Amino acid sequence: MVEHLGKAPSSATPHRATKQRLLDAAELLFASHGFEGTSMRAITQAADTSLSAANYHFGSKQALLEAALVRRIEPVNRRRVEAIDALEKSSEGVVSVEALLEAFLRPGFEVQRESPEEGRRLREVAARFSADPHEIVSKLKFELFAPVMRRYLDALERALPDRTREDLALDFQFFLGVMIHVMSGKNVFSRDHADPMPYADETILDRMVSFATAGLRAGGVPRAPESTPGAGS
C-alpha cells in the first residue's frame, strides 16, 4: 500500500540526510536502469551509506522504490485532484474536456517552471516507469495513479456521455503516452533528440490540450470504409 510521506523536518539531521541521500540515489538509478537493473548495493554505494542503513530506513528495494515514486509523483497528483475539485465546484459537476485535460497536464508544467531540476527529475522518473514492465512497478503505478485516474474518467464520462468508459480509458492511455513523450523533453525532429521543443510551455500545453481533446471527441466516430478501386464504376 502506498503511504503518504510526511513533511520534511525544518532542520537537517544525520538521520534525514542519510534517508534523503538514499532516495536521491534510488531515484537516479531506478530512472536510469529500471527496477530489475538496480541493486540495493548500487544504491547504497551511490548514497555513500551502508546496506544496514538502507534496510533500517526502508526495509527493502521495493519499499525504497515506493518512497521514491511517492516523493516525486504525489505532489503532482495532489495538484491534479485540487484542480478537478475546483473545476467541478465552479461548474456544478459537468466540466469540459478541454478544462479537464488542462487540469491534468498543467501540474507537470508548473513543477518544471517552479524548479527546472525538480521538473527534470519528474520527467526522468515518469519516462522510465511508464515503460518498466516489472510487476512491482505496475502494482505501484496502479496504487499511485488509480484514484486520480478514476476521478478524471468519471468527469470525462459526464463530459462525453456518448462514449463508453472502456473507450475513454483506452483513449486516455493514448493521451498519457503523448504527455509522457512531450514531458520527457525529447524532440524527434532534432538530429540527436537533444534540442528542446521550439515552443514556450503555454503553447505546448495549449497544443496538447487541443490535440487530445480532438482525439477524445473523435474516438467515438467510426472510420469510413475505404473505397475499393473500381467499385461502382
Q: Could you tell me the CATH number of the domain that includes residue 155? A: 1.10.357.10
Residues of 122-135 as b/e, b for ≥16 C-beta within 10 angstroms? Answer: bbbbbbbbeebeee
Total structural domains within the chain? 2
Is 33 inside any structural domain?
yes
In terms of domains, do 92 and 51 share one?
no
Parent domain of 43: 14-57
In terms of domains, do 213 and 103 share one?
yes
Q: Which of 28, 23, 26, 57 is nearest to 41 (CA)?
A: 26
Unique residue bearing C-alpha cell 532516495: 23
Determine the residue type at 176: L
pLDDT confidence band for 1 (50 / 70 / 90):
very low
Is 227 inside any structural domain?
no
- The dihedral over CA atoms of 136, 141, 146, 148, expressed in degrees to the nearest 10, equals 160
In terms of domains, do 52 and 165 share one?
no
Is 143 inside any structural domain?
yes
Is 99 inside any structural domain?
yes
In terms of domains, do 117 and 202 share one?
yes
Burial of 143 (0-12, 13-18, 19+ CB in 10 A): middle
Dig out the grid coordinates for 99 from the structure.
478544462
Is 49 inside any structural domain?
yes
In terms of domains, do 35 and 114 share one?
no
In terms of domains, do 140 and 183 share one?
yes
Is 193 inside any structural domain?
yes
In terms of domains, do 132 and 208 share one?
yes
In terms of domains, do 118 and 157 share one?
yes
pLDDT confidence band for 3 (50 / 70 / 90):
very low
Q: What is the pTM of this model?
A: 0.80
Query: CATH code at 23?
Result: 1.10.10.60
pLDDT confidence band for 19 (50 / 70 / 90):
very high
Is 81 inside any structural domain?
yes
In terms of domains, do 39 and 130 share one?
no
In terms of domains, do 135 and 190 share one?
yes
Mean pLDDT (whole number) for 104-113: 90
Mean pLDDT (whole number) for 85-90: 94
Dig out the grid coordinates for 8 from the structure.
520534511
In terms of domains, do 120 and 156 share one?
yes
Is 91 inside any structural domain?
yes
pLDDT in tens, 149-184: 999 999 999 999 999 999 999 999 999 988 888 877
In terms of domains, do 80 and 35 share one?
no
